[in-house]
Amino acid sequence: MTATILSANLPPAKFDTLPLPQRGGAGLKSRHVDAILESGCDIGFFEVHAENYMGAGGLPHAQLTAIRQNYPLSLHGVGMSIGGADKIDMDHLKRFKAVMDRYQPSMVSEHLAWSTHDDVFYNDLLPVPYTDQTLESVINHVDQVQTFLGRQILIENPSTYVTFQQSTWIEFDFMGEIARRSGCGLLFDVNNVFVSATNHNYSPQDYINAYPLHLVQQIHLAGYATDSDDDGETLLIDAHDRPVSENVWDLYQLTLSRTGPLPSLIEWDNNVPEWEILAEEVYRADVLLRSFSDEKKTLRAIR
């Protein structure tokens, strides 16, 4: 704790309604806040998990207030259980809105996953079978959340370890249909694409080429762990515990070549390193984003 975090009650104003910049961002960790504020580092934006700021007061709010005064913010939910059969938990949605109203994020996002069933919260992003029935349910939930929050949200594609025999939709079509019918945007997690493609034996490049990329407004990047499955085949785990792997950086470039520059977040939630190491990952994304930004300008000039 340093004396930098004292202005907990000042209204955040600097980036009120601006969209996130087309730059690299970092998932915010409490232990990094002092280093970030002291260095005044040039980071495009920060993202936080809404659930970590649902307490009444104390250090978490003081830190986020100080960050919010200096950087644009993206608010990411991990507990809404949008892909679950249960109704949306209104108490949780109200708490989520309170965090949103307080910190005025530029973007709000959640997952295509479920985590609550029969009132029990499993604290994990559990996989959804892709059927007409689950599609209707997800669209209704997204619609309900967007209506209550009074704004568009982004839905993130999952990383999965199992598939469902009952699934009748391909994931990228399912994502596109959710967005088309609910009016939500998409958050494209490139690491999740690589993890799922490896685990379910399809081409991540084909997946990216078939994805409704025109609906994507933000990108996530993270590191994965390598394990093996029941047959001794490679099983990748979405671990968020290490640097982004080179093959994910390659897929990120393929994505940017299709989408142009987009706000791109580095997620590093376990075995969290020193701030400088995480910042290096963010700057690497920045360099790539700049190259695609320049490319876009050049193309425009040629035309």
Nearer to other proteins, 64 or 216 (CB): 64
C-beta of 58: minimal distance to other proteins in Å? 5
C-beta of 231: minimal distance to other proteins in Å? 8
C-beta of 301: minimal distance to other proteins in Å? 49
C-beta of 202: minimal distance to other proteins in Å? 12
Q: Rounded to the nearest 10 degrees, how much is the dihedral formed by the CA atoms of 141, 144, 145, 146?
A: 120
Nearer to other proteins, 114 or 172 (CB): 114
Indicate the DSSP class of residue 244: P
* Burial class, 23, CB count within 10 angstroms (exposed 0-12 / middle 13-18 / buried 19+): buried
CA of residue 291 relative to chain centroid, distance: 23
Long-range CB pairs of 251-254 (<8 Å, 24+ gap) are 251/190, 251/193, 251/194, 251/204, 251/205, 251/208, 252/190, 252/219, 252/221, 252/285, 252/288, 253/288, 254/205, 254/208
Query: Do residues 178 and 184 make contact, with C-beta atoms less than 8 angstroms apart?
Result: yes
Torsion sign, CA atoms 194, 121, 80, 95:
negative
- Can you tell me the distance from the alpha carbon of 190 to that of 8, in angstroms, rounded to the nearest whole number? 35
C-beta of 54: minimal distance to other proteins in Å? 5
Nearer to other proteins, 148 or 161 (CB): 161
List of residues contacting other proteins (CB under 8 A):
1, 5, 8, 51-52, 54-62, 78-81, 84-86, 89, 91-92, 95, 114-124, 126-127, 129, 131, 133-134, 137, 161-166, 199-200, 227-231, 235, 237
Nearer to other proteins, 38 or 294 (CB): 38
C-beta of 41: minimal distance to other proteins in Å? 22
C-beta of 119: minimal distance to other proteins in Å? 6
Query: Do residues 257 and 208 make contact, with C-beta atoms less than 8 angstroms apart?
Result: no
- Can you tell me the distance from the alpha carbon of 93 to that of 90, in angstroms, rounded to the nearest whole number? 5
Side-chain-side CA neighbours of 228 within 13 Å: the count stands at 4
Query: Do residues 295 and 276 make contact, with C-beta atoms less than 8 angstroms apart?
Result: no
* Helix 59-68 / helix 90-103 crossing angle, nearest 10 deg: 50
Nearer to other proteins, 26 or 66 (CB): 66
Nearer to other proteins, 66 or 215 (CB): 66
* Backbone torsion region of residue 201, taken as left when φ is above 0, otherwise alpha when ψ lies between -120 and 50, otherwise beta: left
Nearer to other proteins, 56 or 301 (CB): 56
C-beta of 256: minimal distance to other proteins in Å? 30
- Can you tell me the distance from the alpha carbon of 69 to that of 12, in angstroms, rounded to the nearest whole number? 5
Nearer to other proteins, 147 or 228 (CB): 228
